[in-house]
Amino acid sequence: MIADGAIGEPRLWRATWLSDEFADPATPFDWRFDRAMGGTTIADLGTHLIDMALSMAGPVQSVSAQAATFIRSRSGQAVTVDDAASALLRFESGALGTMEVARAAVRRPCDFTVEVNGSDGTLMFDYARLNELWYASGGDDVRLYGMRRIRAEHPDHPYAAQWWPIGQGVGYGSSFANQVADLLEGWPEAPWTPGFREGAAVQAVCDAMEISAAASRWVKISEVTSDVPESWEGDLWPGG
């Protein structure tokens, strides 16, 4: 819908992913709490949000992030990863973004939302309601002011086709089946999309966020990608 111009030019992007996976101090120490082996919340949850940010609002120009570890010891061993992080984003287009990720948000099992506000409309998705998308257009009749709920269960929606009768919902497991079907449909000639290039772009933003959180300053993505040989840039970095 964004690519089709349904909301005009993206101006504001925001997302949250809240989990209570590590909220209990009694959760024993394992590799996930060792920074050398496990991932921070930015690397774990943030990668998914950044992936969506890049596809929805385009390349990120710079970030300002913060992170904190609330439970510093588990099973008598020091925890070297954070429990939560958040960031401000500036996109190359001029759009602004915010994101928050946490694995210590009590009674928030896997609560993920993403929203984009454009020059002509708004789109919002809530993971807890997998089959719904909320949309509003600036061109709507003012008497219908507000957001409308789109139920993405009709066979006209490609990832709902060939599943259950309308109203039964397409769930978490079904979504993985759709992903596998996409990969097999083009195998082996079709290019991998997303591929290494998209993954590298996401990783660059996450690395910039890690640097920013540690240094308490804005970090440009170009600081992370500056060591990439010029001959690679067109292959790895969007806009390169």
Rounded to whole angstroms, how far apart are CA atoms 234 and 227?
14
Q: Residue 150 to residues 49, 131, 143, 203: CA-CA distances in angstroms?
A: 22, 8, 19, 32
Q: Across the strands, what pairs with 63?
A: 89, 219
- How is residue 75 written in tokens? 């099973």
Is the CB of residue 48 less than 8 Å from the CB of residue 56? no
Q: Residue 231 to residues 10, 203, 228, 237, 240: CA-CA distances in angstroms?
A: 31, 19, 8, 11, 10
Is the CB of residue 101 less than 8 Å from the CB of residue 83? no
How many angstroms separate the first and last alpha carbons of the chain?
Answer: 25
What confidence score (pLDDT) does residue 45 get?
A: 95
Rounded to whole angstroms, how far apart are CA atoms 83 and 79?
10
On whether the pTM is more than 0.85, the answer is yes
Characterize the bridge pairing of strands 121-126 and 132-137.
Answer: antiparallel
Rounded to whole angstroms, how far apart are CA atoms 171 and 177?
10
For the chain, the residue count is 240
Residue 199's nearest CA partner among 47, 17, 44 is: 47
CA 137 remoteness from chain centre: 23
Rounded to whole angstroms, how far apart are CA atoms 75 and 29?
6
- Spell out the domains of the chain, with CATH numbers in brackets: 10-153+195-232 (3.30.360.10)
Is the CB of residue 159 less than 8 Å from the CB of residue 131? no
CA 35 remoteness from chain centre: 21
Rounded to whole angstroms, how far apart are CA atoms 85 and 19?
12
Mean pLDDT in runs of 10 for the chain (240 residues)? 97 98 95 88 95 97 98 96 97 98 96 98 96 96 94 91 90 92 88 87 97 97 83 51
Rounded to whole angstroms, how far apart are CA atoms 115 and 124?
4
What confidence score (pLDDT) does residue 39 get?
A: 84
Characterize the bridge pairing of strands 219-220 and 60-68.
Answer: antiparallel
